[in-house]
Amino acid sequence: MAEPGDRRSFMKKATGLLGLAAAPELALAAREAQTAPPPGLHDVALSVNGTKRTLRIDPRVTLLDALRERLDLTGAKKGCDHGACGACTVLVNGRRVNACLTLAVTCRGKEVLTIEGLAQGDTLHPVQQAFLEDDAFQCGFCTPGQILSAVACIREDRAGSDLEIREAMSGNLCRCGAYPNIVAAVKRARDAQAGRAQAGRK
């Protein structure tokens, strides 16, 4: 009959061997636990202004909050936070969206363009330049959303007449009432881009 000490020695050796066998699996599980997002959070890969960014966020986080609070891109403004004022307008794959109503997770793998990414270095986008030349803003709060909406409006070929521009831009409200100047700026940018396109074809 084996002595108690022998049994204890055998159990220690057996436990040690089992531990060695399980070590790789335990190490792998530990690494996965360190890299996996905590429960309820998701890793969301976005392309923002041409730069790939990965955020670990709650799936309920809006694109607006992700841009402003996680990426420090504060150009898109939080106005009504209900999709009624357009101050938070950004472009997702070239289309206008209200960032306050858009979940960041739905933009996974898409191209997000904010006002910060519109200019090329020190060269303003034609719409930005037109807004300056036509004084199409007063307090400036709505201006980033207005400009991005105008970019899309021209790209969508919805900037033919004053009435068409007003209709296409109706989702962007200006508390200062600078609408005539905004329409003038859209027309100026439209004509400038048309002129450049024509010159490029010659």
**Residue-wise pLDDT tens digits, 8-36:** 665 566 555 555 555 566 566 656 556 66
Query: Which has more pLDDT, 194 or 92?
Result: 92
191 and 127 within one domain: yes
Q: What is the pLDDT of residue 187?
A: 98
- In angstroms, the first-to-last Cα distance of the chain is 103
Q: What is the pLDDT of residue 57?
A: 96
Q: What is the pLDDT of residue 10?
A: 58
Percent of the chain predicted with pLDDT > 70: 82
Q: Which residues constitute the domain of residue 173?
A: 118-202
102 and 150 within one domain: no
Q: Does any domain span residue 59?
A: yes
Q: Does any domain span residue 14?
A: no
pLDDT band at 56 (very low <50, low <70, confident <90, very high): very high
- Single out the residue in 82, 116, 150 at which a domain terminates: 116
Give the whole-angstrom CA distance, residue 49 versus residue 75: 12
| H helix intervals, the chain | 4-35, 63-65, 126-133, 143-155, 162-168, 179-201
Within 10 Å of residue 51's Cβ, how many Cβ atoms?
Answer: 10
Domain count, the chain: 2
123 and 99 within one domain: no
Rg (CA), the chain: 28
Q: Exposure string (b/e) for 189-199, b if CB count within 10 Å is 16 or more?
A: bbebbeeeeee
158 and 109 within one domain: no
**Interior angle at CA 155, CA 129 and CA 179, nearest 5:** 55
Give the whole-angstrom CA distance, residue 94 versus residue 113: 8
Helix (H, G, I), strand (E, B) or coil at 54: strand
Q: Rounded mean pLDDT of 132-147?
A: 97
Q: Does any domain span residue 6?
A: no
Query: Which has more pLDDT, 39 or 179?
Result: 179
Q: Rounded mean pLDDT of 93-104?
A: 98
Q: Rounded mean pLDDT of 104-112?
A: 96
Residue keyed to tokens 């040690």: 16
Nearest to 192 by CA among 145, 163, 150, 162: 150
Q: Does any domain span residue 19?
A: no
Q: Does any domain span residue 86?
A: yes
Q: Does any domain span residue 13?
A: no
Query: Which has more pLDDT, 7 or 175?
Result: 175
Residues 158-201 have pLDDT tens digits of: 999 999 999 999 999 999 999 999 999 999 999 999 888 778 77
Q: What is the pLDDT of residue 195?
A: 84
Give the whole-angstrom CA distance, residue 128 versus residue 180: 16
201 and 122 within one domain: yes
Q: Rounded mean pLDDT of 105-117?
A: 97
Average pLDDT, the chain: 89
- Single out the residue in 116, 137, 161 at which a domain terminates: 116
